[in-house]
Amino acid sequence: MLGGNQVALGIEAKKQVVAEVSEIASGALSAVVAEYHGLSVADMTVLRNKARESGVYLRVIRNTLAIRAVEGTDFECMQEAFTGPVLCAFSTNEPGSAARLIKEFSKEYESMNVTAISIGGELLAADQLSVVASLPTYDEAISQLMSVMNGPITKLTRTLNDVPGKVVRVIAAVKDAKAG
């Protein structure tokens, strides 16, 4: 045993962890790195369950392994954030899901501290968590897109419906002018 509850990993186990995290990182949309010291095992279990429900890959990983795992991915820019006891949360379905998860969880557990956020290969400051968390879900984005696309069609339909009405009014005005 090392340092209480940490078990030494063999070289093959380390390679497997690096390969797994690297595979997730290469397909992820965004990532959040957060310090988790002070959280109990029960707290971490709650967080892991919420992550699973949200489509977020969550992993507590040794810093040296995390640095190797993100090499060659969009999250290579986060390597300096891997100091101290940290966990990595990767959004695999929606860009804001990991940020939403960590933001909601850190409201209740103040000992969780975000150290880095990355989206699209760009490193963001930890204070950008709310911005990334507010990104729309897939369904919300589709809804917004449909709303934007629907606007011009609705306006065209109204314009086309106004034309016959205007023609009828002009004919009526001409008829009234000739009758009068």
Is the CB of residue 109 less than 8 Å from the CB of residue 39? yes
- pLDDT at residue 3 is higher than 50: no
Task: Tell me the average pLDDT across 21-30.
Answer: 90
Length of the chain: 180
Least confident range of 55-59, 99-103, 169-173: 169-173
Between 88 and 110, whose confidence is greater? 88
Task: Determine the pLDDT at residue 31.
Answer: 92
- pLDDT at residue 56 is higher than 90: yes
pTM to 2 decimal places: 0.69
Task: Determine the pLDDT at residue 140.
Answer: 67
CA-CA distance, 22 to 12, in Å (whole number)?
Answer: 15
